[in-house]
Structure 1
Amino acid sequence: MDYVEMIKEAKEYIKSKIDKIPDVAVILGTGLGSLVEEMEDKMVIKYGDIPYFPQSTVVGHAGEFVLGNIGNKYVIAMNGRFHYYEGYDLKQVTFPVRVIRALGVEKLIVTNASGGMNENFEAGDLMIITDHINMMGTNPLIGRNYEELGPRFPDMSQPYNRELIKIAKDVAKEFNIKVKEGVYVAVSGPMYETPAELKMLRLIGADAVGMSTIPEVIVANHGGMKVLGVSVITDMAIAENLEPLDHTRVVETANRAKAKFVSLIKETIIRM
């Protein structure tokens, strides 16, 4: 089936379950699903029920849309995302963003768990993403371009919206939440990086490294959405002092940071 028709069919399924267009979409990264506990009048749509949707296979990713109210905003949250390393191509990885945009949503918050490479960071910090570097070796826009989805050569001079960044920074200051700012780099994964790789990524200007987010941000920008990105620094990925790491530790650190993460995202959504 044609890609645009697949998007339309998935959109129509979700639209049949809701009675208004969400104000904001949120993609929740590894271990960060606790935001949905703050939503009122919730309803859940399982990815498995939506036409053409992939399935989450990673621990810490529930595999469902949760829709509900946060303050005066109606929110659609992806509780679990898809990753290139799961074997999906990037058109599949970003399919939910296409569907969310087709619903009429104009603002997107992307979150992730990432390794901190900036020596001024520490595990548990929140980092507002100011820019990114794509080191995944591919791009979701490769192939045929559908003009109804966005231009052939989209502008990426401001992939993370400055107005939304200011709102998040104002919230952090008001609620006394310490936040960092920095550049996020995405690699394909699924293995964690070697010391030599971390040295290279730091040299080219990255402050934090992960295995997601950038494909969704590219597609969101392609579709004209305003994007805010927030990373939870779950470990320190500094080449000279690198300790063995596993996914369980990443999830545990994300869980420990969830109180300030939820406070920041929740209040930012209300003000968007």
Structure 2
Amino acid sequence: MIIRKKRLTEEPTVLTQEQENIIQELLMAHAKTFNRTFSDFRQFRPLDRDENTRVAERNEEVDDARENTSRLDSSFCSMLQTKQTEDKKLQFTNLPHITDLSTYMIQNIISYAKLIKTFRALTIEDQISLLKGSAFEITQMRFNMLFNEQTGIWECGSLKYCMNDAERAGFQHHLLDPLMKFHYTLRKLHLHQEEYVLMQAISLFSPGDIRNHAKDLHKCEAERPRETIAFPKNHGLPD
């Protein structure tokens, strides 16, 4: 039994013609709907990375004014409180850009799904249900392909994103911290493109917790010989 198991782990994976065709279809759908340079992401509202400086300057003005509150009437004190409230809102000026980016990614994911024959065969109601459940997962998988584990930056062509951009869009740490851990964990597996597209397909047709998909891949990576990969790289598309 041990010898048989060892032989199986050492033998390279051989796919059937049907499996090859499925992977080819997924690769083509992915290639047509995922532009790594983001050159087709246009007319978006820009990131406001200078906002922190402006907020700090305004806060300094408010602090200076507080020192003189003893000589000010109550109406001016009320104005200061209003100004502080406005400053807090201005800290989320990245939200318009992140909204545009999310819309762009989701539109591409919808186009990706519609290129898959099995998905097109489903009813409209089922298609909508699957997309609602999987859009966020697939978006994160695609962003992971652009994630630089050395710098912690998502390199989307000329656009660069860091965790601080998401924070200033209003996202809280209880969401961002596990999300960042997910990106580091998945990227360190150094997956091939074939494995990414299969993960996307799994998420599309069985949406759930993306951490479970990452754990499954991590287990597969640990069990297979390092000199082989899960799927032969003869599909004609680069990683």
Structure richer in helix, relative to its length: 2
TM over 0.5: no
- TM-score, reference length from structure 2: 0.24
| Structure (1 or 2) with the greater strand fraction | 1
Greater length-normalized contact order (CA 8 Å, ≥ 6 residues apart): 2
